Amino acid sequence: EIVLTQSPDTLSLSPGERATLSCRASQSVGGNYLAWYQHKPGQAPRLLIYGASSRATGIPDRFSGSGSGTDFTLTISRLEPEDVAVYYCQQYGSSPRAFGQGTKVEIK
Amino acid sequence: QVQLVQSGSELKKPGASVNVSCKASGYLFTSYAMTWVRQAPGQGLEWIGWINTNTRNPTYAQGFAGRFVFSFDTSVRTAFLQITSLKAEDTAVYYCARGPAPLDYWGQGTLVTVSS
């Protein structure tokens, strides 16, 4: 079973700053099948990135994903107030397709 | 457009059962699996499992097999999550989502509250 560990737990940045979120897997993620989701309170989660680096439909290009194997990163190039949310990674290369514990992004 | 519309909030007593429904539209129901995810109060997303809408084969995360049952009715394009012998710790928002993964469309969530 692959365990995903996200860091940091909370990220507090000013608008326009760069946000770097990490997701580390306990074993290599097959096929780099790693997705990132954005989850705002009271809303359904939203798919941002799949296959480690492919942006989902309609996702702004300030969101980008990178990494392979056991280390993956979600970058928000210029943080905007509407990006306040909890971000989760999920691996889907093997079962169970568990989520990381999440990183909360706040605006200073 | 693709939509997943879930049933409304439920308040149940411990030991009771609950059925959460998820009605799909805008795509061929049997072309995509359906996944179930929950979020307990103050906690993160928890993957419950998924069901193959072609083979009817379900896959459950550890700790969910037994009391949690996935099913679907293709004639009404609706997936179901049944939870039996409810416990207080089952209190959560339950989401359906399209796919085994990545999960590209999500239902709006159903709050299940278990309280005496």
Q: CA–CA separation, B113 vs B104, rounded Å?
A: 27
At B4 the pLDDT is: 98
Torsion A18-A39-B70-A6 (CA) sign? positive
pLDDT in tens, A75-98: 999 999 999 999 999 999 998 999
pLDDT band at A25 (very low <50, low <70, confident <90, very high): very high
What is the number of alpha carbons within 13 Å of residue A54 lying toward its C-beta?
Answer: 9
Chain A contact probe: residue of B5, B51, B106 with most A CBs at under 10 A = B106
At A77 the pLDDT is: 96
Q: CA–CA separation, B63 vs B61, rounded Å?
A: 6
- Among partner residues A44, A88, A99, which is closest to B106 by beta-carbon distance? A44
Q: CA–CA separation, A32 vs B33, rounded Å?
A: 20
At B1 the pLDDT is: 95
Backbone angles phi, psi at B19, to 5 degrees: -120, 125
At A103 the pLDDT is: 98
Q: CA–CA separation, B20 vs A56, rounded Å?
A: 28
At A16 the pLDDT is: 96
CB contact under 8 A, B102 and A102: no
A18-32 mean pLDDT: 96
Chain A residues touching residue B111 (CB < 8 angstroms): none
- Written as tens digits, the pLDDT of chain B (116 aa) is 999 999 999 999 999 999 999 999 999 999 999 999 999 999 999 999 999 999 999 999 999 999 999 999 999 999 999 999 999 999 999 999 999 989 999 999 999 999 99
Helices (H), ranges, chain B: none
CB contact under 8 A, B101 and A101: no
CB contact under 8 A, B95 and A95: no
CB contact under 8 A, A88 and B59: no
- Among partner residues B45, B102, B104, which is closest to A39 by beta-carbon distance? B45
At A26 the pLDDT is: 97
What is the number of alpha carbons within 13 Å of residue A78 lying toward its C-beta?
Answer: 4
Asked if residue B102 lies in contact with residue A35, where contact means CB atoms within 8 angstroms, the answer is yes
How far is A102 from chain B, CA to nearest CA, in Å? 6
CB contact under 8 A, B102 and A56: yes
- Among partner residues A44, A57, A96, which is closest to B107 by beta-carbon distance? A44
Chain B residues touching residue A98 (CB < 8 angstroms): 47, 61
CB contact under 8 A, A86 and B44: yes
Residue A46 pairs in a beta bridge with A38
Q: ∠ CA(A31), CA(A33), CA(A34), 5° rounding?
A: 140
Q: CA–CA separation, B60 vs B49, rounded Å?
A: 4
Q: CA–CA separation, B90 vs B88, rounded Å?
A: 5
Bridge-based pairing of strands A63-68 and A71-76 is: antiparallel
Asked if residue A88 lies in contact with residue A37, where contact means CB atoms within 8 angstroms, the answer is yes
At B12 the pLDDT is: 98
Q: Which residues contact A97 (CB under 8 A, 6 or more apart)?
A: A90, A91, B35, B47, B50, B100, B101
CB contact under 8 A, B101 and A92: yes
Nearest CA in chain B to A49: B102
